[in-house]
Amino acid sequence: MEESMRCGALVGDEGARAGRALLPRRRPGPVMGVVAACCLALPLVLSGCGITPALALKVGDCFSQPENAAALTLEGRSCEAAHDGEVFAVIELDQPAPADLAPSGPVGTDPADSPASQSRVDGAQSVPLIPDGAAHPGGAVLDTLATRLCDAAFEPYVGTAPEDSTMDVAWFKPSKNSWLRGDRSITCFVHSADGSQLVGSVRGSAQ
């Protein structure tokens, strides 16, 4: 996505897309454990730039959550301006995962029993992460899968491992409503662990 496209607003519609608020998911290393993050419903529609497609967030996009806006609103921002989050991966669950992002096994199964864990073609899984036509697997299953996929995608983009980073990882995931409309995307983003805003892209920053 070009710089000129990072403007306008990402607007939400309740029940269409579930995600995570800009709160730490977890802090590896000295601070252990999982920090529960509030979920929000969010269909992503970028407006103000002549762009109307839903689910408009792309890798490299930066955004903020306005303090006085509704909980379901995000604003697209230039990464050079102060912002709350930056997208570092968008993973389509109905597509084969690249080998470097493939989870060790499908969620809720023994990896040894999974065709996805056994079949590789040209460095990628030969079957999708979630089969075509499958029902919404539930928020907990999507969170488990997102944890694996987002953690695997973090270091190639940022330049350091999640456990060594000063930042935290979160994601947007399909809700039951958006799943029925064909939404299969996990959108991974990075934000500061202390809630402060970021300035500049984190791509290759090793932060």
- Residues 34-53, mean pLDDT to the nearest whole number: 32
Q: Tell me which DSSP letter residue 164 carries.
A: G
**Tens digits of per-residue pLDDT, 165-207?**
989 999 988 888 889 988 999 999 999 988 899 999 999 888 8
Higher pLDDT, 71 or 7: 71
CB atoms inside a 10 Å sphere around CB 12: 21
In a domain, 166, yes or no: yes
Measured CA to CA, the distance from residue 70 to residue 49 in angstroms comes to 21
Of 110 and 73, which is predicted with more confidence? 73
Tell me the average pLDDT of the chain. 67
Q: CA of 201: how far to CAs of 77, 108, 139, in Å? A: 11, 35, 29
The pLDDT of residue 67 is above 80? no
Which pLDDT score is estimated for 128?
80
Tell me the CA distances in angstroms from 23 to 2, 82, 84, 172, one per residue in order: 27, 17, 10, 12
Asked if the model's pLDDT at residue 86 lies above 80, the reply is: yes
Kindly state whether residue 36 falls inside one of the protein's structural domains.
Answer: yes
Confidence of residue 72 (pLDDT cuts 50, 70, 90): low
pLDDT for residue 201: 94
What's the number of domains the chain is made of? 1
Q: Which residue range(s) make up the domain with 79?
A: 3-94+130-192
Q: Is position 124 within any domain?
A: no
**Is residue 40 included in any domain, yes or no?**
yes
Answer whether residue 110 is part of any domain.
no
Q: How confident is the model at residue 82 (pLDDT cuts 50, 70, 90)?
A: very high
Q: From CA 176, how far away is CA 25, in angstroms rounded?
A: 22
Beta bridge pairs of residue 62: 77, 86
Note the pLDDT tens digit of each residue in 10-21: 434 333 344 443
Q: Is residue 26 part of a domain?
A: yes
Q: Are 43 and 12 in contact (CB under 8 A)?
A: yes
Question: What is the phi/psi pair of residue 74, to 5°?
Answer: -125, 150
The answer to whether the CB of 129 falls within 8 A of the CB of 101 is no
In a domain, residue 112? The reply is no
Grade residue 98 by pLDDT with cuts at 50, 70 and 90: low
- Residue 115 located in a structural domain: no
Say what percent of the chain tops pLDDT 70: 55
Distance (Å, rounded) from C-alpha 14 to C-alpha 181? 14
